[in-house]
Amino acid sequence: MALEAGTRLGDYEILSPICAGGMGEVYKARDVRLDRIVAIKVLPAHLSENGQLRQRFEQEARAVSSLNHPNICTLHDIGRAAGIDFMVMEYIEGETLAERIARGPIPLEEAIEIGLRVADALDKAHRNEIVHRDVKPGNIILTKSGPKLLDFGLAKRRVTRSSESDSSAVTEQKPLTEHGAILETVQYMAPEQVEALETDARTDIFAFGALLYELLTGRKAFEGKSQASLRAPSCLRSHGRSQSFVR
């Protein structure tokens, strides 16, 4: 159930919903102590009962808190109130890269600048042994000071083979009142992630390559009418490991 405006989570007052995803709901809120606007990502009570989801939520908080970079969303605080786990992040004003691409082609110089900054943010994460695993235009917000990479809900540190399918854990950005598909996310997933194999920094590089292609052409690198068609082997996705394309 979505939180209503005026709901208090500790020292934070919910103002309005922003979006929802597979790993929680995001709200615009006010820090009543410092009188500033923040973004709060919550793991609803019915999801916090799932130990695996709660662990992943805490994992995201640890990942973001360890990264200090101008192009990565800053984590301010974490907490738990009324049975709800939440993390408090900087409130970022701007449009997502997905929204910007939808409005039309991006000039070459601007696209290169966005790509360089996102690459630098990923380099920072990888040097801290963190793999984002959900790099896509919807997880990048364009601000006056440059792009901001957010949503580390699938991030992993020192990634090893997982017993859980990566493809089943992809996040889905959508308004709180809508139901959508994960088709857009699958379009940026590396072959090993689709096949639930071991992931590492090269998984992010594959997604970044797909993102960069879209920046420069205005078209998605991989098209399909369904998840099945995108998961099916093709001349670009049949090798089973993304290093086939990025080494």
Q: What is the pLDDT of residues 115-156, one digit of tens each?
A: 999 999 999 999 998 998 889 999 999 999 999 998 876 667
The residue from 31, 85, 134, 200 that is catalytic is 134
pLDDT exceeds cutoff 70 at 229: no
Q: How far is CA 77 from the centre of its chain?
A: 19
Say which residue the tokens 């540190």 belong to: 157
CA-nearest of 174, 176, 171 to 1 is 176
CATH of the domain at 106: 1.10.510.10
Query: Same domain, yes or no, for 80 and 177?
Result: no
What is the distance between the alpha carbons of residues 216 and 174, in angstroms, rounded to a whole number?
A: 25
Task: Kindly state the tokens that stand for 5.
Answer: 């405006």
Say how many residues make up the chain: 247
- Residue 102: give the domain boundaries: 95-246
Query: Same domain, yes or no, for 40 and 118?
Result: no
Q: Quick check: is 166 catalytic? A: no
Query: Same domain, yes or no, for 75 and 105?
Result: no
What is the distance between the alpha carbons of residues 201 and 126, in angstroms, rounded to a whole number?
A: 6
Instruction: Kindly report the average pLDDT of the chain as a whole number.
Output: 79
The pLDDT of residue 116 is 97
